[in-house]
A and B are shown apart, each in its own frame.
Chain A
Amino acid sequence: MVLLERIIQENRPSMLDISSHDVLLVGGGGAGLRAAIAVAETNPRLSVAVVSKVYPMRSHTVAAEGGAAGVHLAEDSLDEHAYDTVSGGDWLCDQDAVEIFVREAPRELVQLEHWGCPWSREPDGRIAVRPFGGMKKTRTWFAADKTGFHMLHTLFQTSLKYDGVVRYDEYFVTKLLVDDGRVQGVVALELTTGKVQAITAKAVILCAGGCGRVFRFTTNAAIKTGDGMALAYRAGAPLKDMEFVQYHPTGLPFTGILITEAARAEGGFLLNKDGYRYLQDYDLGRPEAKPVLRSMELGPRDRLSQAFVREQEKGRTLEGPYGAVVNLDLRHLGERTINSKLPFVRELCLKYEKIDPIAQMIPVRPVVHYMMGGVHTDLNGATPLKGLYAAGEVACVSINGANRLGSNSLPELLVFGARAGRAAAAYAAEQEPPGRYLLAQALDEESRLQEQFLQKTGGHEQIAVLREEMQKIMEQSAGIFRSGKSLTVAADKLHELQGRFRDIRMDDRGRLFNTELISALELSHMLDVAETMAQCALQRTESRGAHQRTDYPARDDEKFLAHSMVCRSADGRPQVEYAPVTITRWPPAERVYGR
């Protein structure tokens, strides 16, 4: 209504040009802010808009704990970081992307250092690095165990010095504006006022994060609802490798709060109910007193989470009030190491579990943590849809393949956030301003929001109930181990939920800060994304990395050394095709840990 009122009042449709920018970021987390700064530095004449459903420093980058990988020590090499990443990803990574990633990561981490990030240090003042899972060399930069928090606040505070960066805080993007085959902006809802607004731009970069909230038990914040993935998918851009969901092996029961892998990197043990370091039974090496790189507790996340399930099947886990758990034992690290290297782990355990890891073991279980898949992009973050870019967890370049290594996602959002920012800046400088014909699309979108939600009458389905049913079926059928049968059940159930979503009941008719409307829009995004995950998982009849099919337990390079590319078909159902994986220097081989 607001747009229409304005047009009627002022009788000039070009009012839309008032909220017009050169480059628009959807999302203000690590990738979005890095991209925004890259645009501003590449071309200070460009106007950059950061559109985010939360204030940028609330973004989920804030919750990353352990660290950011980048070759730092003389004994390390780019090739070794690349090999760890490629083998960790079970050869599904695009190796040209990995080579760029490992080359640019150290420089990006130094850039963060120059911007003030409080990296932990050696006594002589040099950057300190710590070991991490699946990494053969010590190369993970860290700021105690609040690395993401410090990176995000450093980026946010630094972004404040660029006059060209304009923020739309607490604006929820509901649609990408596409015309003439080109993305030219977004329609967004301003939460504070309920006003619907068209924000046009010559290029749009999606940096909206992942979608862990599709599952019930997740480390992910409430905001991680796959918005960026759904926006791209609805606009016709393909999503890639959506079946690859990372379970982190150590989450706190009930809350799903993450206990960082750094706890194991510093020397923590995973113990079953008999106090036995069970990982030795799963081809992950021999137990040693001190952590051994690429071995045991420092194996990759997919293998550790799978070992937990096998251990549970053998009846060797403990029963907690929220299901099976194993123990993470940090007691032998001592108070000093825990307080200096893992203070947040201690704080979280004391607060949420009422236990002190200095004296007690921490009950943990695998928890949904990260999406390897996402919006398909090239090496510069460009999607096949002109004018649309993506970076960070929302995107799939792919450097993570079938399983991401811990501490690769923070440098990923820097490297590819910066690359997408530079590429979008160059592209935007060449484009004509968006046309007035986008107005009609924006008005249509506003009518949709009114009709389907705000002025909807009747309706029987509760948002929370549909969300819980979705989360339950995803956990049961598309979790650490899946099968053709379970995934068919999931796909059918999701289709049913899509139908029931059209009959939702809305309690809140208010315009101002209507969080129920946001919950409904987020649920619709999650349902779309969940369908792509189930469909990609169903069609990949092999086991690779984090995608383990009980009915197809072996890796099949003949058929599936390929990326799943999923598009929305005319009837709204996901349609999967395959694209080749780029292999440069590391031909597919066996993944070896601990031997």
Chain B
Amino acid sequence: MANRITLQITRYHPGHDEKPRLETYEVPLRKEWVVLDALNYIKDYLDGSLSFRWSCRMGVCGSCGMTVNGVPKLTCATFVSDYAPGPVRIEPLKHFPVLRDLVVDTSDFLVKLAKSKPWIIRSVNKSLEEEYLQTPEQLEAYKQFSMCINCMLCYAACPVYGLDPLFSGPAAIALAQRYNMDSRDEGAGKRLDILSHHDGIWACTFVGECTKVCPKNVDPASAIQQYKLTASLEWVKSFVLPRGGQ
């Protein structure tokens, strides 16, 4: 293994630079280094002005998503040596406005997440003296959707989101479905209007790119398909049951 590797990194400072450019850096190639370690080496020793987000460096906080050789990746869970002999191209996540270098503006997701009402909705709550029973099977029904770390790789991979920024997107829909499938929740009907109109789930053509790039093995594509069914059922219920099935 050669002992150096070349990284080509997007640099962009809005207001200073007319457009993004690729800058080349050479870093040591170490077998235990993830891409994030290489970026930190650059920031610490070569160029302190390089901007990127990171925190836990163990694949759970969701901060460090970037595009590595064209594919959305968590850079703390992607080894540099897998790309040897290089060069490795590191760019910001696609489909989001770039704030600076490798930092993108994901605030759109936060708005969509809130709209999908990702909290337990019930008409009557138990007292805090007792828990709701939930069998391991009932837990399993929604568990995988609860594993979403909000890293935004699925949005960067989603061709529908790329074309239509109004699309709620894979993670927001998966998290809505996470609550719909929770045996403690009664709110599926309340999550309908947000997700079932045109910029909601119907725009998804089941390309499945979201599921492929998810670093936590969540399957947003299936959440979207499931949701189409839930939405149809709730829509029917709203006609046949008193008070709209609520």
Contact = CB atoms under 8 A, between A and B. Distances in A.
21 contacts: A63-B60, A113-B131, A114-B131, A114-B132, A116-B179, A118-B142, A120-B139, A146-B147, A149-B60, A153-B150, A157-B119, A160-B113, A160-B117, A160-B119, A161-B117, A161-B119, A222-B56, A222-B57, A464-B43, A510-B100, A512-B99
Given A58-B63, A124-B133, A149-B149, A513 B55 contact: no
Given A344-B60, A507-B49, A519-B48, 5 more contacts: A57-B62, A160-B113, A161-B119, A257-B58, A507-B47
Interface size for chain B: under 10, 10 to 19, 20 to 34, or 35 or more residues?
A: 35 or more
B49 A508 contact: yes
A125 B134 contact: yes
A348 B58 contact: yes
Interface stretch (B10-18, B156-164, B206-214, B233-241): B10-18
Contacts of A464: 43-45
B58 A255 contact: yes
Given A114-B126, A464-B44, A508-B48, A255 B57 contact: yes
A60 interface: yes
Contact of B146 (A55, A120, A150): A150
Contacts of A111: 128
A371 B27 CA distance: 34
A516 interface: yes
B120 A62 contact: no
Interface size for chain A: under 10, 10 to 19, 20 to 34, or 35 or more residues?
A: 35 or more
A222 B54 contact: yes
Closest CB pairs A-B (n = 7):
A125-B133, A507-B48, A464-B44, A508-B49, A513-B100, A157-B118, A221-B55
Interface in A207-244: 221-223
Nearest to A192: B99
A254 interface: yes
B134 A153 contact: no
Contacts of A58: 55-56, 61-63
A59 to B, nearest CB: 8
B143 to A, nearest CB: 6
Nearest to A348: B58
B246 to A, nearest CB: 17
B55 A118 contact: no
B151 to A, nearest CB: 10
B55 A114 contact: no
Contacts, number: 160
B61 A63 contact: yes
Nearest to B175: A157
Contacts of B99: 192, 512-513
Contacts of B184: 114, 116
A3 interface: no
Contacts of B105: 192
Contacts of A146: 60, 147
Nearest to B52: A515
B59 interface: yes
Contacts of B56: 58, 60, 62-63, 221-222
Given A351-B59, A513-B51, A515-B52, A121 B136 contact: yes
Given A115-B120, A192-B99, A510 B60 contact: no
B53 to A, nearest CB: 8
Contacts of A490: none
Interface of A: 54-55, 57-60, 62-63, 107, 110-111, 113-116, 118, 120-121, 123-127, 146, 149-150, 153, 157-158, 160-161, 169, 192, 221-223, 254-255, 257-258, 344, 347-348, 351-352, 462-464, 506-510, 512-516, 519
A255 B57 CA distance: 8
A113 to B, nearest CB: 5
A151 to B, nearest CB: 12
Contacts of B44: 462-464
Contacts of A513: 51, 99-101, 103
A512 B14 contact: yes
A87 B106 CA distance: 46
A352 B56 CA distance: 13
Nearest to A109: B131
Interface string B101-120: 10101110010011001111
A121 B139 contact: yes
Contacts of B146: 118, 150, 153
A6 to B, nearest CB: 20
B139 A118 contact: yes
B29 to A, nearest CB: 16
Nearest to A344: B60
B182 interface: yes
Contact of B130 (A110, A157, A158, A515): A110
Nearest to B58: A257
A116 B120 contact: yes
| Highest count of chain B CB atoms <10 Å: which of A107, A192, A463, A515 | A515
A62 B61 contact: yes
